[in-house]
Amino acid sequence: MKTTTKRALAIVLGLAVVAVGGAALVAALPTDTRAIGPGAETQPTDQLIAAGRYIATASDCIACHTAPGGKPFAGGLKMATPIGALYSSNITPDKKTGIGNFSLNDFDRAVRHGITPAGGTLYPAMPYPSYAKMTDADLRALYAYFMQGVAPVESANRTADIRWPLSMRWPLALWRKAFAPPVATIPVDRYQSAALARGAYLVQSLGHCGACHTPRATTMQELAQDESSPHYLAGGAVIDGWLAVNLRGDAADGLGRWSERDIADTLAKARNAHAAVVGTPMADVVAQSTQHLTDADRQAMATYLKSLPAVGQGKATFAASEATARALRAGNEENRGAQLYVDNCAACHRTDAKSNAVTFPALAGNPSVLADDPASLIRLVLAGSALPTTGKAPSNLGMPGFAWRLSDEETAQLVTFVRTSWGNQAPAATASAVAKVRKQLDAEHASR
C-alpha cells in the first residue's frame, strides 16, 4: 500500500514538474511586435513635444510615477496589491536609472504591450491593456515628450516587496499572453459621432478608466475593455481604501441621474451641482489629469459615459422622499443613527441631506452613498477627506474625520442611517466592516 502511494505521489510530482516546466517554456518564448519605426526619435518639434505633454496628462502618467515629495516621473510611488507592494519606475530620460536608453520601439513595447527592453513583462499595475488602444501618432508624441520635454532624474528603481514564489516574474508573461489585448486602435465608425468616438478613446485608452472602474476576474484581468460588455465600468475594486464606483447609467449607484454637464463638471472641478469626488485616487485624477484637458475633451468623455446603459446589478435604489427630513425637523430621531446624524452631519448636509450645491455634496441619491460596498462612506466618516484644488474650483472644501469620537457600532449605525434615509435604500453597514476600515487606517498611519 505504501509503495503504491509513493508511486502515485511521484507521478503527481513528476506531472507537476513537467507542467511548470512547460509553462515556463511558453512564458520564455519571445513576443514579436510590430515595429513602428524611428519616427520622431531624433529631432522632435516643439509642437510634437507639446502634443506629447497633453497625452501624458490625459494618461495621468504623473500620478503613478511620482512619489510623494519626489521629482516628477522619477518613480518610487508605493502601490499596494493583493500579493505585496509594488513601486513605480523612473520614467525620466535618465540613461542610468530611467528610460533614457529606450528606442521608440522599446517605449512602444513597454507602454502598449507591457514588455521591457530585456523581454520581461511589466506588472499589470501599468495599464498597458488600456494603452494598447493608443494610436501610433499619440505614442510617438508621448515618446518625444518623455525624451525631450522631461528633465532626467537619477533615481534607482526599487524592487517589489513580494515574497517568493509570488515574486517570480515569468508567470506574468503567461498572464500577458493570455489576457492582454492586442494593440489595435478603436474603430471610429463604431460610434455615431466624432465626439462620441473621441470620448471612447479618452475613456478606454488614455484615461484607462476601466483599470479601476471595471470589475476583474479571479485571474485579475478586467472583465471587459469596452462597452460591448455590461461589465465595462460597472464598478471596480476598493483602491487605497476607496471604492471605484459604477460609471454606467444606473439611477442609484451609477450616473443615470447625472447630466453630461454634471459629468464634465466633475472632471473639471471634482464636484457638480449635487455630488463630489470622494477619495484620494479620483481626486488625484482630477487634480493631475482631467482638469487640464480641453473643455471639448471633457465633454466628449461625458458624452461617452452618458451613452453607457444601466446594468441593473446593484442592490440599491433611490426614490426621493421628504419623510426623513420632516421627521428630523420635528425632532423625531427614531434611532441612534438619526441621532448621530443630527449631532455630527446635519450642520453641513442639512436635515434634508440635500446640502448645498455650492459647497457640500448632497447625500440623498448620491452614487457613493448607494454603492453596494459601503467602504468609501465608512472611510469618509472615520477619516474625512478634502476636495482637490482645481483651476475652476480653487476651494479645497473638506470633511473632518470622526474616528476619535465614534465607535465601530456607532459608525455603522450612522452609515446605515444615511444609506436608508431620504429615499436611499442600500444595504446596511456592519460594525465588523467599520472595524476592518479602521484597522486599515491605523496601518496607514503607522507606516507614514
pLDDT in tens, 113-135: 999 999 999 998 999 999 999 99
Decide which of 126, 156, 179 is a domain's last residue: 179
Quote the cell numbers at residue 320: 426621493
Residue 11 has pLDDT above 80, yes or no: no
Look at residue 413 and tell me if it is in a domain: yes
- pLDDT at position 20 is 46
pLDDT beyond 50 at 16 = no
Higher pLDDT, 447 or 195: 195
The answer to whether residue 223 is domain-embedded is: yes
In a domain, 20, yes or no: no
Indicate if 58 and 157 belong to the same structural domain.
Answer: yes
Contact 242, 376 (CB under 8 A): yes
Q: Name the phi and psi angles at 404, rounded to 5.
A: -70, -20
376 phi and psi angles, rounded to 5 deg: -65, -45
Whole-number Å distance between alpha carbons of 200 and 135? 13
**Does 238 score more than 80 pLDDT?**
yes
Tell me, yes or no, whether 194 and 95 share the same domain: no
Answer whether residue 355 shows pLDDT above 90: no
CA–CA distances in Å: residue 292 to residues 255, 301, 370, 391: 22, 13, 29, 9
Q: Are residues 265 and 332 in the same domain?
A: no
Q: Is 345 annotated as a binding residue?
A: yes
Mean pLDDT of 41-65: 92
Looking at the fold, whether 308 and 361 belong to one and the same domain comes out as no
Any binding-site annotation on 348?
A: yes
Any domain includes 434: yes
> Is 271 in the same domain as 289?
yes
Using one digit for the tens of pLDDT, what is the confidence trace for 173-201?
999 999 999 999 898 889 999 999 999 99
Name, of 140-144, 239-243, 392-396, 439-443, the range with top average pLDDT: 140-144
The verdict on 147 and 275 lying in the same domain is: no
Measure the CA–CA gap between 306 and 209, rounded to whole angstroms: 14
The conformation of residue 205, written as its DSSP 8-state character, comes to I
- Looking at 293, 313, 333, the residue that finishes a domain is 313
Q: Looking at residues 423-444, what average pLDDT do you find?
A: 95
Residue indicated by cell numbers 452614487: 367
Burial environment of residue 195 by CB neighbours within 10 A (0 to 12, 13 to 18, 19 or more) = middle
Structural domains counted in the chain: 3
- Residue 65 annotated as lining a ligand binding site: yes
Q: Report the chain's mean pLDDT, rounded to a whole number.
A: 89
In terms of domains, do 235 and 355 share one?
no
Confidence (pLDDT) at 55 = 98
Residues 205 and 296 in one domain: yes
Write the CA distances from 380 to 255, 368, 386, 398, integer angstroms: 20, 10, 10, 10
Determine the Cα–Cα distance for residues 411 and 398; give it in Å rounded to an integer.
Answer: 19
Do strands 385-386 and 398-399 pair parallel, antiparallel, or not at all (unpaired)? Answer: antiparallel
This prediction has a pTM of 0.91
- pLDDT confidence of residue 98: 97
209 is in an annotated binding site: yes
pLDDT the model gives residue 42 = 59
Q: What residues pair up with 242 in beta bridges, in sequence order? A: 239
| Residue 10 resides in a domain | no
- The pLDDT assigned to 446 comes to 80
Q: Kindly state whether residues 247 and 333 are assigned to the same domain.
A: no
Is 349 annotated to bind a ligand? Reply is: yes
Q: Tell me the mean pLDDT in the region 195-216.
A: 97
Please indicate if the annotation marks 445 as binding a ligand.
no
pLDDT tens digits, one per residue of 296-330: 999 999 999 999 999 988 889 999 999 999 999 98
Residue 333 domain boundaries:
315-388+401-448
Q: What percent of the chain has pLDDT over 90?
A: 71
CATH code of the domain in which 346 resides: 1.10.760.10
Pick from 415, 419, 395, 396: nearest CA to 407: 415
Write out the E strands in 186-246: 238-239, 242-243
> What pLDDT does residue 97 have?
97
pLDDT at 96 over 70: yes
Helices (H), 161-319: 170-179, 194-201, 210-213, 260-269, 280-288, 295-306
CB 339 within 8 A of CB 351: no
User: 66-75, 95-104, 274-283: lowest mean pLDDT where?
Assistant: 274-283
Enter the DSSP assignment of 75. B
Distance CA(49)–CA(46), nearest Å, equals: 5
**Domain end call among 148, 179, 210:** 179
Q: Indicate whether 35 pLDDT > 80.
A: yes
Question: Over pLDDT 70: what percentage of the chain?
Answer: 91
What whole-number distance in Å separates Cα of residue 391 and Cα of residue 385?
19
8 Å CB contact between 361 and 367: no
- The answer as to whether 14 is a domain residue is no
113 is in an annotated binding site: no
Paired strand residues for 385:
399
Shared domain for 173 and 204, answered yes or no, is: no
Is 292 marked as a binding-site residue? Answer: no
66 and 154, same domain (yes or no) = yes
- Asked, for residue 225, whether it belongs to a domain, the answer is yes
Q: Does pLDDT of 164 surpass 90?
A: no
Q: Which of 351, 348, 183, 179 is nearest to 276 (CA)?
A: 348
Whether 29 is in a domain gets the answer no
Residues 6+ apart with CB under 8 A from 81: 123, 125
If asked whether residues 221 and 252 sit together in one domain, one would say yes
* 213 marked as binding residue: yes
